[in-house]
Structure 1
Amino acid sequence: MLMDKPRRGFWCPCWTEDLTDEMQWPALRATFDACSAPQADRRVAIALRAISPALDPDASDITWTIRPVVFLPPARRQDIQLPPCAYVFKPQAGSSTSGAPD
């Protein structure tokens, strides 16, 4: 469903951390959006029941957060030229895409 104006909702990211490796940054494992707080809570509960049997409780830590957000409508790009820098951008070799510092 396309939206034409901002709408309130909830953003729910899941992070895991390897407790046996103190140098490792938490890793983003999944995210989802929800329309209401009860819906977000139900989805997190279902996801935790699904994935927790696969985690070693002595070696992993999992964190789900539920944050209120405002979702913006997608930008319309029909007939819009991207700036020239968009076509010459090249990621640096060995750069991390996880968002965590190297």
Structure 2
Amino acid sequence: MNNPPIIRCGYWCECWTQSPATGKAPVLLASFDAANAAQAVRWIRVALRTIASALDPGEFAGAWGWLTGGYVADIEALARTEPCAVAIHHGRTHVRWTARPVLFLGLADRRTGSLPACAGKFTPLTNAPALSKTDDHR
């Protein structure tokens, strides 16, 4: 039987939002484990492209610039093991996608039909990771 490696390199991606509806603290909306830098950035691009047309003209221009070529710098940054972040504002709502290189410990594969009992006890972070303004790329 061919066992998968216990530790594998990958990328952890998250989408955080903060708005009057969520209160003062950002809330984790979604997360994704990517196998490579291009897949991590693709996850962000799909989400951003989905909402880009609803943005005001200034935000749309920045988002569109990132979607149509600016994302390449983030793929390169991730490949150099540097984290990346993309942020947008719409009215009083702030959305930030992050991706960072990680090592995954292969205890359980979330794509299998039966996860261990402890999988249901996982509680995600309640606060967004601290990223400086220089981490935002658009």
Same-fold call, TM cutoff 0.5: yes
User: Deviation at 1:52?
Assistant: 4.7
SS of 2:43's partner is helix
Which residue of structure 2 aligns with residue 64 of structure 1? 97
- Preserved CA contact (<8 Å) 1:16 1:61: yes
User: Deviation at 1:39?
Assistant: 1.1
- Preserved CA contact (<8 Å) 1:12 1:66: yes
User: Deviation at 1:37?
Assistant: 0.6
The AA in structure 1 aligned to 2:101 is P
Q: Percent identity?
A: 41
User: Deviation at 1:53?
Assistant: 5.3
The 5 Å alignment of 1:1-102 reads 3-18=4-19, 20=20, 24-52=24-52, 57-74=90-107, 99-100=125-126
Worse overlay, 45-54 or 32-41:
45-54
- Preserved CA contact (<8 Å) 1:10 1:68: yes
Q: What's the TM-score once normalised by structure 1's chain length?
A: 0.62
Which structure has the larger Rg over C-alpha atoms?
A: 1
User: Deviation at 1:98?
Assistant: 5.9
Q: What's the TM-score once normalised by structure 2's chain length?
A: 0.47
Measure, in 1, the Cα distance between the counterparts of 2:53 and 2:124. 25
Q: Aligned pairs, how many?
A: 80
- Report the structure, 1 or 2, having the larger helix content: 2
User: Deviation at 1:99?
Assistant: 3.8
CA deviation string 1:73-99 (max 9, x = no partner): 116xxxxxxxxxx9xxxxxxxxxx664
Measure, in 1, the Cα distance between the counterparts of 2:26 and 2:99. 17
User: Deviation at 1:3?
Assistant: 3.1
- Preserved CA contact (<8 Å) 1:6 1:70: yes
